[in-house]
Structure 1
Amino acid sequence: MQTPLPTVVLDRAVHRNQTILTIAFERSRALATVAQQALGAKWSQTRKVWYLPYSQNNKAQVLAVMQRYAPVDASRVQSKAEKDAHNMHDVVLPEAMRDEIDRFRKWMLTKRYSDSTVTTYVSLVVFFCKYLHKRHCTALTPMIVPRFNYEFIVLPRKSISYQNQAINAIKQFFEYRGIEVEIGEIERPKREKKLPVVLSLDEVNRIISFAYNLRHKTLLCLIYSGGFRLSEAINLKLADIDSQRMLIHIKAAKGRKDRYTLLSQKALAIMREYCNVYTPKVYLFEGPNGERYSPRSVQNVVKVAVTRAGITKHITPHSLRHSFATHLLENGTDLRYIQNLLGHNSPKTTMIYTHVSEMAVQKIRNPFDTMELNTQPLPDHLNF
C-alpha cells in the first residue's frame, strides 16, 4: 500500500526584504519535484522550505497544484473572505430549510437532470442557503445574489467554472421556488480557453504500468483505449462489451445519448484476465459489495498511478480521454469519426485537438529555417 504524502503547510514570511509564500512539508522527493518543476519554487537553505514571491495568484496556483497530491494547510495565509467561506461549513441550517433543499433535489430529479448535476447544484444551493441564514436574510431580493457572488466567489477567487455553476444552481433554485428574481445581469467572466493536457504514448504506458493492481490497470486501459468519460466508465456493464464486433456500447451518456466506441484487442485481453480474477457480476468495475465504482475511486486510481509514474503534469481521468482523441488525430483518423467516438455534439468541440497535436505542429515549417544565414567570417577584432 502506498504511503500517503505529508501535509503541505503554506505560510507568509519575509526573505531578503521580500514577502514570500513558503511551502513546507516533511521530506518528500515527490513533493519536492512538484514544488520545483510544476511551481518553479526556489529552495531556501536557511529556512529549509520552498518559496515563491507572495501574491494571490501564486497562492491560488500553489493550492491548486499541491492539493492534487497531498493535504494542504493554508489557514495561515487565508484572507478574511476565505476564512468566512471556510466558516460557512459550520453553519447549521434550520430543519425547514433542509426540507426545502431536499424537495429541490427531488424536483431536479423529476426534471431528469443527471445525478452529477443534481449533486453539484444541491451542494451549491446548500452553501447559498447557509449564507442567507448567517446573514439573517428572510426574503430573497435582487441584491442578494450579486452580494453572495462577490463575497463568496469573487473575493476568495473561486474558479470561473465554479462561479458559473453557482449562478446556474441558484437560478434553478429560484425557478423551483417560483420566485421571479432577475439575476441574469450578474457579470459572468468569460471562460478561459485552456488547451487540454495531453499525454504522450510513453506517458500513457507508464501510468498504466504503475497501476496499483489489475483492476486499476484494466480501468486505466479502458478509459484510454475507448476515450471514456469518468461517468461512462463506472456505468459500463459487462453486457455492453461486444467482443464479436470489437465495439463497446456506451448507453445514456452525456446528453442521454447512446454511442459506440472502439474495443482494443489488448484492452480486451487485459479485461478478460481481470474478469477471471475479480468476477464482476453486473458492472465491469464493482466495489466490494457489488456496487458501482465511485467517481472518487477512479480519480484516486489515476492520482496514485500518475504519482508512482513520476509524472508532474496535472492529470485527471479526462486527460486519458483527451490523449486518446489526440493520438487518433495524429494517426490520421478523420475528425468526424473522432467526434462520433467521443460523443461530441459539435465538431467545434473536437477541433480543439488540432491545437494540441504534436504531429500537426511538427509538420509546420518554421519560417526562420527558410533563411540563408550570413556565414561570413567575423572581423578579427570580433573573432572570439
Structure 2
Amino acid sequence: MNTIKSITLYHLMINDVKKIGIKFAPDNLIQGLVKGLPDPKWSEQHQMAYIPNTKEHLELLLDTFRGVVWINFNRFYPNKPVNSHNENVDVAWFRKRKLPPGYRACPEEYLLKLELKRYSNSTVRIYVSFFEMFINYYKEKELYAIDESDIRAFLQEKIHNNVSNSYLNQAINAIKFYYEVVLGMPNRFYAIERPRKEFKLPTVISKDEVLAMIASANNLKHRCIIQLLYSAGLRRSELINLKLTDVDSKRMLIRVEGSKGNKDRYTLLSNTALADLRAYYREWKPRMYLFEGRKAGKYSANSVLQLVKDAAIKAGVKQTVSPHVLRHSFATHLLESGVDLRQIQVLLGHGSSKTTEIYTHVATNTFKNIINPLD
C-alpha cells in the first residue's frame, strides 16, 4: 500500500528571525528536495527542517514540491473567516485610558486587527486585558524575541495562583492572536500545551423555582426578561439584542440574529410570555430594542444579571442563578418532557450535538427507569 508523501509548513522564529518550518516523515525523496532549497537547516527544538522566510524562498519551495508531494498549508495560512454580523467594536475606552507610568500598552496593530475581524466588544476587552498582562510580565523583552519557554513560564505563574482552565485558555488565545493573526504567523506557538478540558455539569433549577422567580420580579419588565431567558433559552447577549421585529407572534417564534458564532436561528415564543410582553409594550413603549435602558439604548447586560439574581434570592432559590442557568434549565426541562435532543440543539443554536448532550447528564428522566441496586 502506497502512503501519500506530504510536508507540513510552519512559521518558526529562530534566533529572532522568521523561518519557514518544513515537517515531514522520514523519506529519502523529501530529504533530497529539502537539501536543494536555499540554506536549509534542522531545528532540534522543533524537530523539523527550516529555511529563511522570504517570498522568494516560499515560491521556490512551492515550485520544488508542487506535483511531487502533498503540501499541507493548514498551519501556515490563516483560514478563519472574518466575523460579519457582530456589533460595532467600540475601542474608544482603550485610547482614552490613563495608564500608570511604565505600563506597556497593547500595540495599536493588535487593536486594529481585532476591529478588522469584528470581534465582539467583550472579546476585545478580554484579549487586550490578557495580552497586556502578558507583555507587562516581560516588560523589558522585545515582543518578537518571546518564545514558547517564556509563555510557559508566564502560564506556570498563573497556575501557581490557582486560576481556572478557562482563564489559562483565554490567556493563550490572547497571546496567540498577536503572533498568529496580527503578525501573520499561524500556529507560531503550536507547541504550547492547553490545559485539559474540564467537564462540569450545568446548574439547573426546577420549573417551580423558575415560576417563583417570575412571580418575584420587581416589575413587568423584569418579569418579561426572566420569562424570555427561560422560555426561549436565550443567552444574555441575545436577549439584550432582541428588536421588536424579532418577536413573531403569528408563528409563535423569536428570531435570534447574529448569536454566538454569527449564526441566526429561531426559538420558541411562549403564549404566557407573549401575553405579558403585550402588556409590557403598552406600558413601557420600547422604540427599537425589545428591552431598552435609558435614552432608548440597549438594556445593559449587568442589569439583566442583577435582576435575575435578585429574583432568585426573593424566590428562595438556594443555587446562585444567572441568565445562563435559566437557559440550562430550559434545555433540561425540554429533554425531560421528551423533546428530541436534535430539536433542542436547534433551539439553543449549538453547532455540535455534543454540546447539547451535556443535558442528558442532568435530566432526571435519564435515571427514572434505572432500579437502584439497594432497592
TM-score under structure 2 length normalisation: 0.69
Indicate the SS of the match to 1:186: coil
State yes or no: 1:170 paired with 2:190.
no
Q: CA deviation at 1:118?
A: 2.0
Deviation of the 1:129 alpha carbon = 2.8
Measure how far apart 1:200 and its partner are.
Answer: 0.4
Displacement of 1:176 after TM fit? 4.3
Question: Does residue 312 of the first structure (1) align with residue 294 of the second (2)?
Answer: no
Deviations 1:348-379, CA, capped at 9 Å, x for gaps: 1111111101122122222332xxxxxxxxxx
What per-residue deviation string (whole Å, max 9, x for no partner) do you get for residues 81-123 of structure 1? xxxxxxxxx972658x53x544422311212323332222122
Q: CA deviation at 1:276?
A: 1.4
Map of 1:222 onto structure 2: 228
Structure 1 Cα separation of the partners of residues 282 and 108 of structure 2: 42
CA distance in 2, matches of 1:353, 1:162: 24
Of 150, 153, 162, the residue aligned with 1:147 is 153
Secondary structure, counterpart of 1:270 in structure 2? helix
- Secondary structure of 2:191's aligned partner: coil
Tell me the equivalent position of 2:239: 233
Identify the structure with the greater helix proportion. 1
CA distance in 1, matches of 2:100, 2:341: 51
The separation in 1 between residues aligned to 2:200 and 2:308, in whole angstroms, is: 21
- Which of 239, 255, 265 in structure 1 is aligned with 2:271? 265
- Report the Cα offset of residue 186 of structure 1: 3.1
Letter in 1 for 2:309: K
Q: How does 1:1-384 map to 2 (within 5 A)?
A: 92=100, 97-98=104-105, 100-133=106-139, 136-139=140-143, 140-142=145-147, 143-151=149-157, 153-178=158-183, 182-369=188-375
Retained in 1: the 8 A contact 2:180–2:188?
A: no
Structure 1, residues 163-207: CA drift from partner, whole Å, max 9, x if none?
001101110022344276953333322122111011101111122
SS in 1 for 2:138: helix
Q: Which residue of 2 aligns with 1:74?
A: none
Mapped partners of 2:370, 2:209: distance in 1: 24
Q: CA RMSD of the aligned region, Å? A: 2.2
User: 1:333 aligns to what SS in structure 2?
Assistant: coil
Once residues 299 and 186 of structure 1 are traced to their aligned partners in structure 2, the CA distance between those partners, rounded to angstroms, is: 35
Q: Secondary structure at the match of 2:367?
A: helix
Q: Which residue of 1 aligns with 2:49?
A: none
State the alpha-carbon separation in 2 of the partners of residues 105 and 306 from structure 1: 39
Deviation of residue 254 (structure 1)? 1.1
Measured at CA, do residues 223 and 102 of structure 1 come closer, stay the same or move farther in structure 2, by a change above 3 Å? Answer: farther
Instruction: Give the match for residue 63 of structure 1.
Output: none
Distance 1:101 1:221 in 2: 43
Contact between 1:250 and 1:261, CA under 8 Å: does it hold in 2? Answer: yes
* Cα distance in 1 for residues equivalent to 2:218 and 2:302: 16
After superposition, the Cα gap between the structure-2 partners of 1:110 and 1:182, relative to the gap in structure 1 and judged at 3 Å, is closer
Per-residue CA deviation, residues 145-180 of structure 1 (Å, 9 max, x unaligned), is: 2222122x2111111101001101110022344276
Instruction: State whether residues 309 and 320 of structure 2, in contact with CA within 8 Å, keep that contact through their aligned partners in structure 1.
Output: no
1:205-245 Cα offsets, whole Å, 9 max, x none, are 12222222221111110010000011111110000100011
The whole-number CA distance in structure 1 between the counterparts of 2:353 and 2:290 is 30
**1:4 matched to which residue of 2?**
none
What's the CA shift for 1:138? 3.5
Equivalent pair of 1:197/1:322 in contact (CA under 8 Å): yes
* Separation of aligned partners in 1, 2:154 and 2:174: 13
Letter in 1 for 2:276: I
In structure 1, give the amino acid aligned to 2:194. Answer: R
Q: Please tell me the residue identity of whatever aligns with 1:170.
A: I
* Count of matched residue pairs: 276
- TM-score of the pair, normalised by structure 1: 0.67
